[in-house]
Chain A
Amino acid sequence: MPTEAKPIHLLIDINSYFASMAQQENPKLRGKPVVIVKELGRTCIIAASKEAKRLGISTGCSLVQAKKLAPHLIKLGAEFDAYLSATNKLRQLFYSISPTVYIYSLDEAFVDLTHCQQFLCRDVYQMGCQIQDKIRQVLGDWVTANVGIGFNRLLAKMAAEIAPKGSVFEINQDNLDVILASVSFNDVCGVGTRLTRKLKRIGVDHPYQLRFYTLDDLEPLFGSFWAKELLKIAYGQEPHHLTLLPTTKALKRSMRSVGRSITTWHKVATLAEIKKIIYNLTREVIYKVRRMKLVGRHLSLALIGSGGLYWFKHQTFVSSFSCTRTVVAIFYQWLEQDWHGQFQPIRFVVRVSLLKENEPQAQSLIPSWQKQEALEAAMDEIDNLYGLHTIRSGLMRDETKIIKPEVTGFLGDQQYQFNYR
């Protein structure tokens, strides 16, 4: 009777991805502190090179703070399409190693070696080193990666977090307790800063310490869900959110919502301008929904101002939507009814959720709806050929003001990016 294979998971994390790619492209930037902002003119740093990190500059830092730490800092705008191209190459590389891959973000991927390690390499550490070499071959010699190895994804991710830059590290049964007793919660996947602070307040700095608490002790402090999750983490078991990661086969069905947000350059004062932005974002969301042959029946819209000001409205409908004009009409109705210009928003979020496959339906009997659907289909066809917003509403006449599609670091829309774009 064949013995069951021992689970082996890898988490491959490219070090300082965006900045390393900029330095890979331009050797003149190597060895210098380089930071990446979303686009030139923005002031929030979204990635810092290893050299910048050594000077104390980190992701989320403002440019003014960073310049104080490194006056000779080099600032570059993000090139998300180039990063996506590189991630695509990495994805192909990982699939050449194992059929079970989950791209966790633009620069991180879980690779399950459970059933294929015996055919690849006896020593899993050597396997990690080989993957690092292959990454250098694919992306360039400046790009380094951490490879974390564990018998589940929590430990693989933890190993990659605590490993020195560009190294391979394994958490196994021998070192598990030592690691759990020394690692900080910042390096534990799924535990955020608020939870870390809460844990600190009761004197818990390392996951191992939680073993001294019972479920009954933790439940009043963290609630029943997190009490169980924390106890799993204390013993190095996979928490719920990691078990939810889809397998390759399930990935196609996993998209539950499509959203788009933007922080504008200035506060938006007029309703007309707000409507234009919402139209622009909705068109992108609906285009993606339609491209994936999905429909959604939950709509949400949020306007966010500075100083924590927030306006949010959402609704679940009986019927599903996949038409820009219909969704925009609902958003406009919400704005006209409930938005009274309480504040000047600077951030806009549009989302279509409760997505399901668009089953062939009988054509609508209402002529104006038929016309609308035909128009939307024609717009899709042109945009499919030449790119989104090639044909657009008169609301988006000014090409310079169009909010163009972009990839986010979290790659939440990876199903669209890899399979439908």
Chain B
Amino acid sequence: MFYFDTNCLLVILGIIRLIISMYQTIHEPIKVAGVFDKAHFVPRWFEWGQLHLNIEKITLVSDYKQGLLRSKSFSVLAAGNLYRLVFNLNTLDWMLDAIWIDG
């Protein structure tokens, strides 16, 4: 005989929600335009396929290194969503790395 108490149900609902809220890897090339401000590149908009998105805010910038391969990740808010844009400093390519999927 199976039965659920409230705690158990809440845990299951929590798990379902956890599965939904996450970063979804995209890893697709994009076009990015921006300006240089005090020797730092600041992305202003990007094009992902047919989609043109203006960047409202840059929330985090991180520098990554793997061997001599360096990249810079910009977490940006655009059209109310969070996007991770990655600039490969060796190949000078831009990539849309991930999108936040809301629960």
Residue ranges of A at the interface with B (Cβ–Cβ < 8 Å): 21, 24-28, 40, 64, 67-68, 70-76, 81-82, 85-86, 88, 139-140, 383-388, 390, 421
Contact = CB atoms under 8 A, between A and B. Distances in A.
B99 to A, nearest CB: 11
15 contacts: A26-B75, A27-B82, A28-B82, A67-B15, A71-B10, A73-B18, A75-B18, A76-B23, A82-B64, A85-B62, A85-B64, A86-B62, A385-B67, A386-B68, A387-B66
Q: How large is the interface on B (under 10, 10 to 19, 20 to 34, 35 or more residues)?
A: 20 to 34
Contacts of B37: none
Contacts of B62: 81-82, 85-86
Contact of A24 (B22, B60, B73): B60
A421 B64 CA distance: 11
Nearest to A35: B18
B77 interface: yes
A388 B69 CA distance: 12
B65 A421 contact: yes
Contacts of A421: 65
A384 B67 contact: yes
B67 A21 contact: no
B interface secondary structure, majority: strand
A390 B66 CA distance: 10
A385 B70 CA distance: 10
Given A21-B60, A25-B60, A72-B17, 5 more contacts: A28-B100, A73-B18, A74-B21, A82-B62, A385-B67
B14 A67 contact: yes
B47 interface: no
A289 B17 CA distance: 44
A86 B59 CA distance: 13
A68 B59 contact: no
B13 interface: yes
A88 B63 contact: yes
Contacts of A140: 59-60
A71 B64 contact: no
Nearest to A139: B60
Contacts of A390: 67
B64 A67 contact: no
A82 B67 contact: no
